[in-house]
């Protein structure tokens, strides 16, 4: 407990899946959490869960497809807490279908949600962190960035772009003590699991048996543990790195 005491963390995609898991664990570790999402009801529920447990949080309803909303998130967070020490880019969408069926609308959605929003948030929050003497940015990528995954072509390409961007920007701002790292989750038990997997126990078990060498899918909490480390002062010497959390999927086929 208390690994993130005195830190303020902005978490996008905080109303579902990995983002929600990260927000909850950050609060449990003492961070003041600014959750960002598009669902007011789920945002209110997130804040209630955190405050009922003795934590501190606020929710900002914002669509990251609009650049002006990113500045509003930054300004609201600074007005509420006076600082931002950690940024977690957890917002993301998955289009899962054969390559020839993926269209321009799918590409635009993946590009804007999974990549462009990371560009905008980092450009908005890095100056805040530089002025404060440092900070930690954690971009949630995917093993799709480094491991072939059928039917997730645009998704994997944009996650690879997030990895590359994170590493390059980390190099530019290392001297200012702004650390930028990525987490690459494998199959994780969230609403983003494709319907044909989560709705068929036999298919789900096949995925676990053939790919998840550690015997189960990851949970949002598994990913959040990695995020806590990268957000905390325990990782002050870690930047420009990618942390794979995948139950052994990427080593399942030597």
- Among 158, 152, 156, 154, residue whose Cα is nearest residue 143: 156
- Any catalytic annotation for residue 225? no
Residue position matching structure tokens 């963390």:
9
3-state DSSP call for residue 152? Answer: coil
CA dihedral angle for residue 140, residue 60, residue 3, residue 216, rounded to 10 degrees: -40
Contacts for 20 with CB less than 8 Å, ≥ 6 apart: 13, 14, 46, 220
Q: Is 80 exposed, middle or buried (0-12, 13-18, 19+ CB in 10 A)?
A: middle
**153-178 burial code (b ≥16 CB/10 A, e <16):** bbbbbbbbbbbebbbebbeebeebeb
Task: Exactly one of 81, 153, 155, 225 is catalytic; name it.
Answer: 155
List % helix, strand, coil for the chain (3-state, nearest 5).
50, 15, 30
Whether 101 contacts 122, CB under 8 Å: no
Which residues belong to the active site? 155
């Amino acid at each position: 407990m208390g690994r993130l005491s005195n830190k303020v963390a902005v978490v996008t995609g905080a109303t579902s899946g990995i983002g929600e898991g990260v927000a909850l664990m950050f609060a449990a570790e003492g961070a003041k959490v600014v959750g960002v999402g598009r669902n007011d009801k789920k945002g209110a529920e997130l804040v209630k869960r955190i405050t009922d447990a003795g934590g501190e949080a606020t929710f900002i309803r914002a669509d990251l497809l609009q650049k002006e909303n990113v500045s509003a998130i930054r300004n609201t967070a600074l007005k509420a807490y006076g600082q931002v020490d950690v940024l977690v880019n957890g917002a993301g969408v998955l289009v899962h279908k054969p390559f020839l069926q993926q269209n321009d609308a799918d590409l635009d959605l993946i590009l804007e949600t999974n990549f462009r929003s990371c560009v905008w948030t980092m450009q908005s929050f890095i100056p805040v962190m530089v002025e404060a003497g440092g900070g930690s940015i954690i971009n949630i990528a995917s093993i799709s960035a480094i491991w072939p995954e059928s039917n997730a072509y645009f998704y994997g390409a944009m996650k690879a772009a997030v990895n590359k961007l994170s590493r390059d920007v980390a190099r530019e701002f290392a001297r200012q003590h702004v650390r930028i790292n990525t987490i690459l989750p494998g199959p994780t038990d969230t609403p983003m699991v494709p319907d044909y997997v989560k709705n068929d126990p036999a298919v789900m078990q096949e995925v676990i048996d053939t790919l998840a060498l550690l015997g189960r899918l990851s949970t949002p909490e598994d990913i959040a543990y990695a995020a806590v480390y990268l957000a905390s002062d325990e990782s002050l010497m870690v930047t420009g790195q990618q942390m794979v959390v995948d139950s052994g999927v990427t080593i399942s086929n030597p």
